[in-house]
Amino acid sequence: MAKPNEHKQVVIERDWKIRLGRMLANKGLSQACVVEWMRDHCDLHISNATLNLIIKHGQWPKKKQNEIYQALQRFATENGLVAQSHVHLIFLNDPCEAAITHGAKWRALFKARGYQQQFEEDLNGRLLTELPEPEMLTQQTKKHFGLFNDPFENEIYSMDQVYLSQSHRYAVEHMIQAARMGSMLCIYAECGAGKTTLRRVFNERINQLHPEVRIIEPARIDRSEIGANTISEAIMRELQVNRKPKSSEDRDAIIRKVLTESYKAGNRHVLVIDEAHDLPDEVIKQLKRIWELADGFTKFIGIVLIGQNEMEKKLKNHFIREFTYRATQLVIEPLGNDLRDYIALKLKACHKNPQDLLTDDAYSAMQTLLTGTRRFGANTGKADEIVDMSYPLNVNTLMKNALNLAASLGETKISGELIMQIRRAA
């Protein structure tokens, strides 16, 4: 139970002259952390004492003043201390004499989080699309087109229903190499790009072609709750270790021993984590330690992380740079020119030919509709970008809506004009 007036208790006494000091204290960041960040991101080497004189006394060194000034501005904006438009405020004298309290830390945290989100949206851009809301195929539609099931259902029940674009095939091969060679791989893409299907295809290929590879997958559903112990338990479960360790040191020794014995027996190991964008930073940092388990130059285990586009931002975090610098990163591309082949495969499952349901101009209309715009903040100076959104999930949604609309209008085929009506209706 919280104590009365706990939010008013002093956390940090005021010990700075410029406002940057209060901002760092509110977020619990040390000056040593700032110095390290400036060294790694700006290639600027200054001592802790130099930064201390700037923050506590407003005394700037004679050399590198401009470089330090710009580096501190970058740190403040990229770490959510202040918005880009107000970054000049960090060097002004702090007019408040009060110490940092719990309540002030909470308010500063939420304020900084809002600044950070706004900054990231401006920098990364906001995706604007005109995609329609998803629908289910109606009974009328199935009767109208002679369909006994939904060819564009998102669930896949066999390899015959799987369409692999060049980007998907490339990613699967990278996953297999990571498993066999013991390397680290990160795959991320937009929602609906087929990441889960990719993982299932990988599992099928491993089971059929590479039975020596042991796939290790944590069982915990909430990825944000995965910790070092969870991964250790997953390794011990896959390798059928029944011995209960007495301590964490004993557990790590057991894992190293069984991995060594399994590798020498001809097995290979790969740790696969789906929805990896939800993993805590500390866990990703620990994955690099697990990957370093080796006998000489031989790595015992490969690591494959699969997640949404948020993973790209997560991997840029300075805290997990040890992992990021050593991991290969892949992005799953949209279908693009493979759109026609994808639709043909889906219709084949229902014994239908694309020519019987779609006109030639329908595909170009679909490409037009499956195009979005990425708009950046006014302060970034970046022009709008055209973004291809022809991912399998979006194509499935568009085809269902088009079939329903065609059936309701009594049309026997989906034309380009009908596709454009979907956009106007949305």
Query: For 128-156, how does the pLDDT look when each residue is reduced to its tens digit (9 = 90+)?
Result: 887 778 889 999 999 999 998 889 987 77
Per 3-state DSSP, what percentage of the chain is helix, strand, and coil (rounded to 5)? 55, 10, 30
Beta strands, E only, 68-169: 100-101, 126-128
pLDDT at 81: 83
- Convert 166-211 into a string of H (helix), E (strand) and C (coil): HHHHHHHHHHHHHHHHCCEEEEEECCCCCHHHHHHHHHHHHHHHCC
pLDDT at 418: 93
28 touches 101 (CB < 8 A)? no
Cα–Cα distance list, 317 to 236, 241, 280, 282, 331 (Å):
30, 35, 11, 11, 18
Comparing C-alpha atoms, which of 307, 333, 326, 325 is closest to residue 188?
Answer: 307
Please return the burial class of 8, using the count of CB atoms within 10 Å of its CB with bins 0-12, 13-18 and 19+.
exposed
pLDDT at 245: 79
Residue 140 parent element (H or E): helix 139-145
pLDDT at 358: 94
Number of CB atoms found within 10 A of residue 49's CB: 10
How far apart are alpha carbons 137 and 346 in whole angstroms?
14
Residue 277 parent element (H or E): none
How far apart are alpha carbons 152 and 392 in whole angstroms?
9
146: left (phi over 0), alpha (psi -120 to 50) or beta: left
pLDDT at 199: 92
Beta-bridged to residue 101, according to DSSP, are 10
The two structure tokens encoding residue 42: 């700006």
Q: List helix spans (H) across 265-391.
A: 281-291, 310-315, 321-324, 339-348, 354-357, 360-369
pLDDT digits (tens), the chain, 426 positions: 445 555 556 666 777 889 898 888 888 888 888 998 898 888 899 999 999 999 988 899 988 899 999 999 999 888 878 877 788 889 988 877 777 776 666 666 666 667 667 777 777 778 888 777 888 999 999 999 999 888 998 777 778 788 999 999 999 999 999 999 999 999 999 888 999 899 999 999 999 999 999 999 988 877 777 877 888 888 889 888 887 777 878 888 888 899 999 999 999 999 999 999 888 888 898 898 889 888 777 888 999 999 998 888 888 888 888 899 999 999 999 999 899 999 999 999 888 999 989 999 999 999 999 998 888 877 777 888 899 999 999 999 999 999 999 999 999 999 999 999 886 555
How far apart are alpha carbons 150 and 165 in whole angstroms?
21
pLDDT at 316: 85
Q: What is the pTM of this model?
A: 0.72
The two structure tokens encoding residue 409: 């209008």
Q: What is the largest CA-CA distance in the chain?
A: 81
Taking the alpha carbons at both ends of the chain, their separation in whole angstroms is 50
Q: Which residues of 344-374 are buried (b: 16+ CB within 10 A; e: fewer)?
A: ebbbebbebebeebbbeebbebbbebbbbeb
pLDDT at 1: 43
How far apart are alpha carbons 263 and 14 in whole angstroms?
57
Which residue has 């697990």 as its token pair?
290
How far apart are alpha carbons 25 and 176 in whole angstroms?
46
Domains of the chain: 6-124 (no CATH), 128-154+335-425 (no CATH), 166-331 (3.40.50.300)
pLDDT at 69: 92
